[in-house]
Structure 1
Amino acid sequence: MSKVSKRKTLPAATEEATTRRTKRVKASPPPQYVEEQRNLQDLWKAAFLVGTEWDRLDSVYKYNWDFRNLEKEFEEGGKFYGIGPTNKVYIFAATETASTALPELLPTLAAVVAPRPPSMEIAINAVQREEEIVPLKHMKMDWMPYIPLAKSNLPQIFVMGCTQRKTSLKQMKVERLMKFQYCVPYIMNPKVEEEKERDADVEFFFPREPQPPLNCEFNWEVDEVETYTDNLIEEEELSPDEKEEFMEILKEEVKKSKRKMMDARKKRMENPNYEEAATYYGNKKLYKIYPVQTPDTPMIENRCHYVNRYYRNAHEII
């Protein structure tokens, strides 16, 4: 006798719920559109903001600064289009105050068009300290190649970058830490070197107790030691009892200044690379780039050609 299979019957409520589950369709999320990154959009971020305090770097990067003006100069008809293979573009960055009313910092770029790097050294200019010119690597900096998303028709681009990690700053000595914010991109400028040989200004502090030290500025080509001292006494900045001591210190500072001037001239005359550096400085092209003004960034009130004491003024502002 054959067995007849019995179909298991679900309760009506369970069967209805199952039917509903099979018909439920999950709604598709709305499409998300991500703006495609432009070829050189992050170029400005690749350059280290030389001379900017470490604790203020984040305040610069919190804004979405727009350097489309720089990007366009690499396109056909732009200043950096078709300049290779002999010439390359070397870019370094710094910061300026956005306006006199706002303490916000804005990034500025300088672009040098030349066959080789402007310098493999950097200057350290601290207040009341001698100028130092040290190799870039001493401050963990270098000219680093920038790799764009697309390389077609682009010249070689190098940025002044820094490999110093921010996380290790706490272990760094204060003197070493401060040197980073005193860094200034350097180039051997014949005019600057010759000015060092003509610098007759002397600045020093004369100790006074219990008063704070007296800050003195003296030009040994214009001023006379005793007359200058008598004027300070007349202005009650100096007491008559301090005259002789002050004059001795001032005369010593003048000797140091004259010795420094002679050393600068000797150094220039003995430098075998001086003439080459002078030719390089005269032939290079220097551009300064400010970000494009946008509603999301602080108002940029002033734009100037001045780059720094070594590069002086840019040929053009972009």
Structure 2
Amino acid sequence: MKKGTKRKAAQATRKDETASTSTEPVTTIEEQHQQQNKEPTKIGRPTKRSRVLKPPESEPEFFDEQRELEDLWKQVFPVGTEWELLDLLSEYKWNFSNLEDAFEEGGVLHGKKVYLFSCTELGGKSGVILIPTVVAVVSPFPPSDKIGVNSVQREKEAILDMKRMKMDWVPYIPLGKRGSSVERLKSQIFILSCVQRRAGLKQLDEYRVKDFEYCLPYFYHPFKDDETEQSTIVNFMYPTEPKPVVCEFDWELDELEEFTDDLIKAEELSEDQKDAFKEFVKEKVREGKRANREAREKRKNARESMSEEQKAAFESIKFYKFYPVNTPSTPDSECLKSPFINRYYGKAHQVL
């Protein structure tokens, strides 16, 4: 082969490869974009949304609206009630809405300064149901700072300071204002409160405990005669064995000789004690007459020493006695209603 023939053959081969390569279509960048736009877009299946279950709608609950004076009667100490009977007051849901209404506009206690104390009365067919009552005293000043104690264990009635019996008039704070200070409230309602706790009674002697059970709210009205000042009856306890003689003697109606003989016949008094007993009764009668005379003089002096303003204040004092409202779930108190409060206060001006 001639020199240069191989070079020519190699060149010819490269030309053929180039020619074959140039026959393939050339795609520009613009054409590539057009092709991409022509390709159909794949649409993904939508994600299945989970159902949210709503809780069943519950029926709305309704609560009784709390009343401002709802617990007023419960806050007042039931004076003179035996300690072991206090739990009986919780056996029924007593309704004193009449007391609450009395403080509303148009009520007998509306806008007035009022002092409240509570007592209990026995009711029911069997006479063993303890029914609470509330006495409202409308007065420009506290009706008294004393408590009367008149028990069988005492030979004579005692008038004691309230504080000695751990009692006092304290402001009542309505339910909706329990967080407020007493000074800012300027309360017009005062309740008789006792801070003696039942647990502490174990530390007291029997006579001291009985004093609480025979307490009576005390009130002294200088313009009204106390019926006891006209009384001709003396109560006494004559010390003798095996047990003392407890009785009452009316110096106008009873004849001492006959009275003593009856006790001997009943074997409450022995024959050899007759004379000593008669002297004992005579002394009690003298004490009773002297007490009546001193009480009348005291009342007369009190009236004479009063100013006209003080007299007007005493004359304006009113007593209201509240019994619980009858409901289907509480015993009937209508048959019990009485204006009588106690021997010191006498009768209420109105019973509600």
Name the TM-score class by shorter chain: 0.7 to 0.9
Distance across 2 between alignment mates of 1:298 and 1:217: 35
Give the superposed CA RMSD: 3.5
What is the CA-CA distance between 1:187 and the residue it aligns to?
A: 0.6
Say if 2:333 is the partner of 1:307: no
Code of the residue aligned with 1:57 in structure 2: it is L
Provide the secondary structure at the position in 2 that maps to 1:65.
Answer: coil
Aligned residues of 1:193 and 1:264 also touching (Cα < 8 A)? no
CA contact (8 A) 1:145 1:158 kept: yes
Matched, 1:317 2:351: yes
The question of whether the paired residues in 1 share the 8 Å contact of 2:140 and 2:313 is answered with no
Q: Is the 8 A contact 2:122 2:131 kept in 1?
A: yes
Q: For 2:230, give the aligned amino acid.
A: R
Counterpart for residue 136 of structure 1: 162
Match in the other structure for 2:208: 176
Residue 158 of structure 1, CA deviation:
0.9
Offset at 1:33?
Answer: 2.9
Contact 1:124-1:132 within 8 A present in 2 as well: yes
* Aligned with 1:94 (options 104, 119, 130): 119
Give the drift of 1:162.
1.5
Structure 2, unaligned stretches of length 5 or more? 1-49, 178-185
Bigger shift: residues 297-306 or 268-277: 268-277
**Which residue is 2:135 aligned to?**
110
CA distance in 2, matches of 1:166, 1:128: 21
Equivalent residue for 1:166?
198
CA shift in 2, pair 1:265/1:30, >3 Å? same
TM-score by length of 1: 0.76
Percent identical across equivalent pairs?
46
Q: Distance in 2 between matches of 1:172 and 1:316?
A: 39
Cα offset, 1:240, TM superposition? 5.8
Whether the 8 Å CA contact 2:171–2:187 is kept in 1: the answer is no
Give me the whole-angstrom Cα distance separating, in 2, the residues matched to 1:260 and 1:298.
42
Q: Pick the aligned partner of 1:123 from 148, 164, 168.
A: 148
Asked whether 1:70 is paired with 2:99, we answer yes
Gaps of 5+ in 1: 1-19
* Residues 236 and 248 in structure 2, CA contact (< 8 A), matched pair in contact too: yes
1:56 maps to which of 78, 81, 85: 85
Output the CA distance in 1 between the equivalents of 2:210 and 2:277: 32
Deviations 1:38-66 (A, max 9, x none): 12111111111111122221220232211
In structure 2, the CA distance between the partners of 1:227 and 1:101, relative to structure 1 (3 Å rule), is closer
Cα distance, 1:247 vs structure 2: 2.9
Supply the distance in 1 between the matched residues of 2:145 and 2:282 (Cα, whole angstroms): 37
What is the deviation of 1:245?
3.4
Counterpart position of 2:330: 297
- Is contact 2:120–2:132 with CA below 8 Å preserved after alignment? yes
Q: What secondary structure is seen at the aligned counterpart in 2 of 1:261?
A: helix
Aligned ranges for residues 175-194 of structure 1 at < 5 Å?
175-190=207-222, 194=226
Q: Hey, what's the Cα distance between the residues in 1 that align with 2:293 and 2:228?
A: 9
> Number of residues paired by the alignment?
292
Q: Secondary structure at the match of 1:175?
A: helix
Which of the residues 287, 299, 309 maps onto 1:256? Answer: 287
Counterpart AA for 1:253: K
Tell me the amino acid that sits aligned with residue 327 of structure 2: T
Farther-moved stretch of structure 1 (234-243 vs 251-260): 234-243
CA displacement 1:153-207 (0-9 Å, x = unmatched):
x971111112223333333333222221111111103487654443332334556
What one-letter code is carried by the residue in structure 2 that aligns with 1:291? Answer: P
Distance in 2 of aligned mates of 1:207 and 1:134 = 25
Query: Could you tell me whether the CA contact under 8 Å between 1:268 and 1:274 is conserved in 2?
Result: no
CA contact (8 A) 1:123 1:183 kept: yes
